[in-house]
Structures are given as C-alpha cells and as structure tokens.
Chains A and B, each alone.
Chain A
Amino acid sequence: MTEANPSLAPIVETVKITKNYGAVRALRDVSISIGAGTVHALVGENGAGKSTIGKIIGGATDASAGRLLVDGAEVRFTRPRDALAVGIAIVHQELALLPSRSVIDNVFLGIETRKRCVVASGEQRRTFAELAQRWSFDIDPDTIVGRMSTGDQQKVEILRALARDARLIVMDEPTARLTAPETERFHEIVRALRAQGKTIILVSHFLGEVLELADTVTVMRDGEVIRTSAASAETPDSLVRAMLGADLDPNFIPATERRPGEPPILQVRGLSGPRFQDVSLSVHPGEVVGIAGMVGSGRSELLRTIFGRERATGGEVLLDGRPFARTRRPRHALARGVAMLPESRKDEGLLLKRSVGENIVLPHLKMVSRRGILSAKRAERLARDMIERLAIKCPGTGAGVNALSGGNQQKVVLAKCLLDKPRVLLLDEPTRGVDVGAKRAIYDLIREFARAGGAIVLVSSELEEVLGLADSVLVMRRGQLTAALSREQATEERVLAAAFGTSRAGQG
C-alpha cells in the first residue's frame, strides 16, 4: 500500500476491518487511511465492499473485526449519531430526507435550535442563511423537499451534514441519480468543500469523476483493498484493470444453443420509461442475452416494463412478431409465456408469511382449480414436482418459506417462474446473495432452459455471470444501451469500460 499524501495526518484510519453478513464476508482485513482535507475515492465493482466500508466509517453499520481510528484514537460506532459526534456524516445513495417537510426542517432535524421547548425559528433561519451563503447554495428554506429535483435534495442532505459541523462526509454514489448539469454542479460543491478543509470519502462508479475530483483512490475487489494510490498516478484503464476479478471460472461454458435462422421470440423496439430510453433488443430461441451495467442504470426498470409491471412511455414489445398490448400487466405476460424473476426475492418475489408450496403455485392457481375452487392435491403435486426438480431443500411443501436459506428461497422464486413452462425468462440478479452450490444449480437451470429453446434476458451485476452465460451482452449506462457485444467481443475490459463510460466503450 502506498500512502498518497504522507504529509497530511489521517483523520480516519481503518485497521484490518472485517465485516460478515451471516456467512457472507463483505470485507476482509481492510486497512485504509483517509488524509484530512483530501477527497478520497473508493472504487470497485458492485459488491466489492466500497459502500460497506463507507457505512462503517459513517457509523451506519459496525465492523465484525478490526479497529477504526479517528484522529488516532480508537472509536466504536454503533449508530450514525456516534459518528456525527466526532464530525463524520454520511450522504446516502438513497437520500434519507423527510419528503413532506421543508428544507429548513430537514436540515435542522434533530438539532433544532430551541428556546426552552420551542423551536427558535428566527435563529434557525439566520443559521441557515449563514450556512447557505458560506457554501453558496441558493436554496429556498421553505421549499418542500419532495418537490425538489434529486440534485437539490442532495444539496439539502449535504447542508444537513454541514449544519452538524461534519469534518468528514461519506458520499455513497452521489451522482448515480443526477442529470449531467446536476453532476457538474455537484462536482463544484465537492471542490468547494475540499477548499474549505473538509474531508470527503467518495464512493463512485464513475471513474472519470473519481479521477477528476479525488486526491487519493483506493481500489477494492471482493471485499479486499487491491491498492491505494494518488489519483494522478491512475488512468481509467489502470483502475478498470485493478478492479477486475479473478479469471473466469472454467466451468462457465456458455450455452450457445442459438439456432440460426429462427425468428426471435422476444423483440423490444425503442422501449422507453422514466428511467431508461430507447432500448431495443431481440432474443431468439435458445439465446441468452445478458445485460450488464451498474446498479441504477435502468436495467431492472427495463425488465419490469417488458413484463408489464411498469408502463412504457414509448416503444413496443413484440412476442413472436406480434405486438404485446401496451396495457399489459404481469398476468397477461405470464399467460403468454413470459416469466420474470424479480431483483429482490424478499421484496418482490416471495410471500414470507406463507409456505413454500403456496409460493410456488401462486402464479398458477388456475392450473390447479376449477371455477375458482382449488384442488389441494393437484397444487401439492405440482409444488412437490418443482421442489424435486429444482432440488429445493425444505421439509415439505408446507414449510414456511422464511425458514429457508437464501439459495433455496431463490430456487422457490425460480420454481414459480418455471412451473408453467414459459418461453421467455426475464432474470434480474438470479444469484444475488446465494451460496456457491445454489449458484451452480441456478446456472444449470438457466442453461437447460436455453437448451430446450427458451429465450432468456439476464440482468446481473456479476460480470462473470453475464460473460459466462450470455450469447450476447448489452451494456446499460444511465438508462441507455451503450454497447452491444457478441460473445467473442465481450471481454471484461470492454463491458466495464462501457458500463463506467470510459473512453474504450465499444459500439457495435
């Protein structure tokens, strides 16, 4: 590890910090030293651990092992308040504001200036005016936060940190949801903060931004620090190379079962929604189309729109060459053989209070009923068949789905999709948070499905997964397709470059 700015005393140091989420190790022996008054960037692929270390420094979560030093003294944060007490604040990726309250209420929430028990609003206004002037933020204190643009909301969150006299601000993906001009303004704010002696930890996917703003860059991969160096010594390419993971698992032989000459099953033409624009793609029988890109790039919204859970603002979806009703809903998609495995199994995939069997047959109750009356026997048989076919480990169809491991829960969601023999599978992060064994099993199921002539659209943040399974790879960035690569063209460098928006983005 090289120290970028040895002249500056570190404000925060992490010493061999390890963080486990259950059996998953998110961080391993992470040692980073943050120089006072610097902008220190953390970069890495999705899941590399950069947000986690930011959260530990900001007190949003605590480390499983290792030490955290502030001004050279060891501290233990159990909640964000502890970190705030020593001048450390977090600006979250998902902004944590009260949308129906005014700017000033949000900025002073929890630190209201009071006279006895009453909020001293006059005094608070003066403080706000001073703050806004000092940092040249032109924000009306009485605007309702929920009506502001994302960029302005972010300013409110930064003001909130400044009102608490934060010396160090952790910013987690601050520009992921900003428009280009908003991003530019945000960059100016960061420079101004640094000029006034504040320290910034910048967690970002955007390498250009990192190199422009940061003094020091730490590259992380798989929960470990790869290297820390001066930003001036790095280029986008050198960062991408450092971020790349281990070599591809040799078991990931692609399906390539695509049958030439057959017309596509699924076609998407110029589809647009609030968070993605003008996306076109087509999937043939036996083909796996992978969509890579950063979290928040519009991939999930694209899948949800194809499936009919969100309404398109333009473009069309065709199934077997026939247009799919613009007013389609998931049940129409399911009826025509399109199934979707949603991004979050707990929020969108499962009924956690119900049994494995009930979950598996939920989308297919018509198959096991006559005139709305269920046949418990048939439902039981179908569910048991799926449990066997997918090797779901559970005591029986009646077992509560919440008692299952993550991998087996994911298999239950997959079983819901596969039960009625769909022709198109839309998979959103099919192996997120599952163990290695379940991962392999899910890959085998995907391949088997494609081999049988099914069409798959696979969204994944795990590059190896996309490259290992997909016959062609599309890359999304900020709601747009930025690259379409064939299997042969798709290398980790090319995909990452397109996803991060560096110079070597492939077009073709």
Chain B
Amino acid sequence: MTGDDESVRGPLWRAYRRARPKSRVDLLKDYSILGFLLALFVVLAATSNAFLTAQNLNNVLDQSVAVGLLACAGGMVIMGGGFDLSAGAIYVLSAVLAAKVANATNAEMGIAAGILAGMALGGVNAVICTIGRINAFVGTLATSIFFSGAAVAITGGGFTYIDDPNFGKLSSKLLGISVPIIIFALFALACMFLLNKTIFGRHLLAVGDNKEAAALSGVSVQMTLARAYVLSGIGSGLAGVVVASRSLAVGSTAGGGNSVLFAALAAILVGGVSMLGGEGAIWRILAGVLILAFVTNGFNLNGVDPLYQQMMSGALILLAVSADVWIRAAKANS
C-alpha cells in the first residue's frame, strides 16, 4: 500500500499511531465502526427532528446503561478467553437482593448489597470456571439457570416494590445528565483503565490469546480469569441496582435478564471483539452499544414496527462479524 509515509500525515495521526500502534486490519476495523456510527448518527439527525435533542439523546443513553454495563464487563471476560452467560441472571438476582435488603434496612444498604451480591455471584462463576475446571459456557449456563431460579424463589415470582424512595435517587439527574449514564461512563472508564493500564489487563489479553504462552511467562492464568468473572459480576450488580432504582419495582423473571444479556453480546460482537479472546477494546464495545441503541431509537422515532428492529440488530451483527472475517481473509491472501 502506498501513501503510508508517516511524515506526510498530520500530528494527530502520528499521536494516534503512537498511542495505538496496530496492524492495518485493526485500523480498518476502527475506521469502519466509527464511520458506521457517524453515518448512522447523520442519517438519523437528518431524517428525524426529534433525534438530535438533549432529551432524546439522554433517553437513548439512559436506556442503554444496563446493556452497556454488561457489555463492558462481559467483553473483558471474552477478551480473556472466557464467557459469562450468567450476567443476565446475576443482573436480576442482585436487583432482587438489593430490593429485599433495602426494604429490610435502608436504600444505601440495599444498593451496596446489590453490587456486593453481583460481585459474590461473579466469584461463584470464577471458582467454577477456574478451580472447578468447568467449561465457561457450561458452567455459566448452569449458574445462570440456578441464579434465575433463586431470584424467583426469593420473590415468589412477582414484583418486589422498594419502599424507600431514596433508592430512586440513583436514577435522578445531575447537571442535566441522568446519574445512571454517569455511573456507566465511570464504569466504562474503569474497564478501559484496567484493560490498558494495569498488569491485570495485560495478563487478561495474554491469557485470552494463548494460555500456554501466558503460563510460561509467569502469568497466573486462573487468577486472571477469576478476576474477570468477578468484574463481570460487579457490572451486572451495578446494572441491577440502577434499573431497580428507576421504577422502584423489581421483576424476577429470567426473560428480562436474558434479553439484556443478549443485547450486550450483540454490542460486543458489533464492537468487533473476537470470541476467541486475546483482542478487543472497550471503546469499540461502547460504539457497538451506541450503534444498536441508535438503530432502535431511529426505528422508534420513524414509527417502524419493533419486529424490524430485531431483524436489523441480527443483520448488523452478521455484517460486523463477516466484515471482520472477510477483511482478515483478504489481508491473508494479499
């Protein structure tokens, strides 16, 4: 390829290359996902007057918080070569526990309990999938079913209403931005920091890329993966309390949890994270979350049947994944 002389590019480009020195495949991936997000944004802004309003954008983001939290944390697990199918169930169960504890004590204790519950349930996955040597899909599918059952058992199947209105403060607004969005942004930043700036992040990508090479380099494969599962649990717990705070009512059905889980997986895939582990970026997952959220929003604003939204989401995943595969194949042949 010509025109690759670094000196003819601007300083911004050089800074970018220094920060993310990577192959053309990755660059193309970055460009294509950003380009798609931008194009989508422009098209929606042009076709709907309601789209580009603070109110609407705040709503879109607010509604993506649960999916986004699960996507960031779940993406980290996948980058480490694991998989967490129980994130949706943990999200439901920790919301239920948060509600119960809040009703027994107060809102603050309830919120803390929800997050801690997510962390502990993530710990259960960690033990099963590392020390227990159970395959990640099998192990977390089993815990997913177990946790969902536990949520129904605790509530008796119906809704649990949170009595303390203070719990609802978690979904109030701060400077015009809803607090859940701020929580999500902080969590995403924390994930970025962990992935890019810490030993844990390097170890996680190493384990996801090549377990044997990682172990021979002195990495504790199991401890690294275990931390990722706990992180995923924390993300789900956060999502649980945030959503509970909106309506102050918590449902206990597995369906709600699983639809959030699948939306998160969709965002991870659209964000170009390899299901094989070893690569991926939080910002691309965020782009994936936004793309899917904008598509839904655009369809709503233009009055399209929700059925088509699902079909569109499915098509987008296929498009993102196959673009990745084809770019790599073309690159390998050249």
Contact = CB atoms under 8 A, between A and B. Distances in A.
Interface stretch (A90-98, A207-215, A352-360, A478-486): A352-360
A400 B213 contact: no
A358 B205 CA distance: 10
A73 interface: no
Nearest to B201: A374
B199 A349 contact: no
Interface string B190-231: 000000011110110110011011111111100000000000
B210 A350 contact: yes
Interface string A302-342: 00000101000000000000000000011100110000101
B24 to A, nearest CB: 10
A351 interface: yes
Contacts of B220: 329, 331
Contacts of A397: 21
Given A397-B21, A416-B217, A354 B198 contact: no
B213 A348 contact: yes
B215 A330 contact: yes
A274 B313 CA distance: 52
B198 to A, nearest CB: 5
B171 to A, nearest CB: 32
B23 interface: yes
A419 to B, nearest CB: 11
A51 to B, nearest CB: 24
A351 B221 CA distance: 14
Nearest to B26: A400
Nearest to A347: B212
B218 A334 contact: yes
B192 to A, nearest CB: 13
Interface string A128-151: 000000000000000000000000
Residue from B199, B213, B278 having most chain A Cβ neighbours under 10 A: B213
Residue from B203, B216, B279 having most chain A Cβ neighbours under 10 A: B216
A53 to B, nearest CB: 28
Residue from A374, A376, A416 having most chain B Cβ neighbours under 10 A: A374
A173 B210 CA distance: 29
A374 B199 contact: yes
Interface residues of A, number: 35
A374 B202 contact: yes
B206 A399 contact: no
Contacts of B22: 355, 398, 400
Interface stretch (A152-160, A365-373, A438-446): A365-373
A342 B214 CA distance: 12
Contacts of B206: 351, 354, 358, 362
A177 to B, nearest CB: 21
Name A's interface SS.
Answer: mixed
A330 B212 CA distance: 11
A355 B216 contact: no
Interface in B12-32: 17-18, 20-23
Given A365-B199, A369-B199, A351 B218 contact: no
A362 B213 CA distance: 10
A273 interface: no
Given A362-B202, A365-B199, A351 B213 contact: yes
Contacts of B200: 372
A351 B219 contact: no
Interface string B298-332: 00000000000000000000000000000000000
Contact of B23 (A349, A374, A376, A403): A403
Contact of A365 (B203, B209, B212): B203
Interface string B82-104: 00000000000000000000000
A347 B209 CA distance: 10
A307 B215 CA distance: 11
A66 interface: no
Residue from B210, B217, B220 having most chain A Cβ neighbours under 10 A: B217
A462 B111 CA distance: 65
A277 to B, nearest CB: 24
Given A347-B212, A350-B210, A397-B21, A331 B218 contact: yes
Contacts of A416: 217
Contacts of B278: 351, 353-354
A347 to B, nearest CB: 6
Contact of B213 (A307, A349, A366, A396): A349
Contacts of B197: 373-374, 376
Given A372-B198, A399-B21, A352 B210 contact: yes
A331 B219 CA distance: 7
A363 interface: yes
Nearest to A400: B23
A362 B21 contact: no
Interface string A32-55: 000000000000000000000000
Nearest to B205: A354
A354 B216 contact: no
Contact of A366 (B18, B199, B279): B199
Given A331-B218, A363-B218, A397-B21, A351 B199 contact: no
Nearest to A355: B21
A366 B274 CA distance: 28
Contacts of A372: 198-200
Contacts of B209: 351-354
A362 B279 CA distance: 15
Interface string A180-202: 00000000000000000000000
B198 A340 contact: no
A448 to B, nearest CB: 23
Given A331-B220, A374-B197, A309 B202 contact: no
30 contacts: A309-B216, A329-B218, A330-B216, A331-B218, A331-B220, A334-B218, A335-B218, A340-B216, A342-B212, A342-B216, A347-B212, A347-B213, A348-B210, A348-B212, A348-B213, A351-B206, A351-B214, A354-B205, A355-B21, A362-B202, A362-B219, A365-B199, A369-B198, A369-B199, A374-B199, A374-B202, A376-B197, A397-B21, A398-B18, A398-B21
Interface of B: 17-18, 20-23, 197-200, 202-203, 205-206, 209-210, 212-220, 274, 278-279
Given A354-B278, A355-B22, 20 more contacts: A309-B215, A331-B218, A334-B218, A342-B216, A347-B210, A348-B212, A351-B205, A351-B206, A351-B209, A351-B214, A355-B21, A358-B202, A362-B214, A363-B218, A369-B198, A372-B199, A373-B198, A374-B199, A397-B21, A400-B22
The 7 closest A-B pairs by CB, nearest first: A398-B21, A331-B218, A351-B209, A363-B217, A353-B278, A365-B199, A334-B218
Interface of A: 307, 309, 329-331, 334-335, 340, 342, 347-355, 358, 362-363, 365-366, 369, 372-374, 376, 396-400, 403, 416
